[in-house]
């Protein structure tokens, strides 16, 4: 099953990845090959089989107590921030 340009563009858009014109056919090709590879799954008979979301079958959520354990360390955390002003992370204007 082959993926076309529009599909590649819309996937890249959903994933917020910029693609150059030259890259589009490259990803078209490799993604189509991968889709072909995973197409092998169709042959498997999975009637009545539950999906397995993680290997820890039979275990359930562990709950933590409702206690505040963190203190304000924003200066430390914001050392890695590309653009910060008045402790706010800056991004180009968000239009509602």
Positions that interact with another protein (CB under 8 A): 3, 7-8, 11-12, 14-19, 26-27, 30-31, 33-35, 37-42, 44, 46, 49-57, 59-70, 72-74, 76-83, 85-94, 96
Least spacing, CB of residue 5 vs another protein, in Å:
13
Least spacing, CB of residue 87 vs another protein, in Å:
4
Least spacing, CB of residue 82 vs another protein, in Å:
4
**Cβ–Cβ < 8 Å for 89, 83:** yes
CA dihedral 19, 25, 26, 31 (to 10 degrees): 90
Q: How far apart are CA 52 and CA 63, in angstroms?
A: 22
């Amino acid at each position: 099953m082959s993926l076309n340009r529009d599909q590649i563009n819309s996937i890249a858009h959903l994933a917020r990845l910029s693609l150059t014109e030259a890259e589009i056919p490259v990803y078209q090709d490799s993604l189509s090959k991968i889709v072909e590879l995973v197409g092998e799954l169709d042959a498997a008979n999975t009637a009545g089989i539950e999906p397995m979301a993680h290997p820890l079958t039979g275990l359930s959520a562990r709950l933590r107590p409702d206690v505040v354990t963190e203190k304000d360390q924003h200066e430390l955390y914001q050392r890695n921030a590309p653009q910060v002003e008045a402790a706010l992370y800056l991004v180009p204007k968000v239009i509602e």
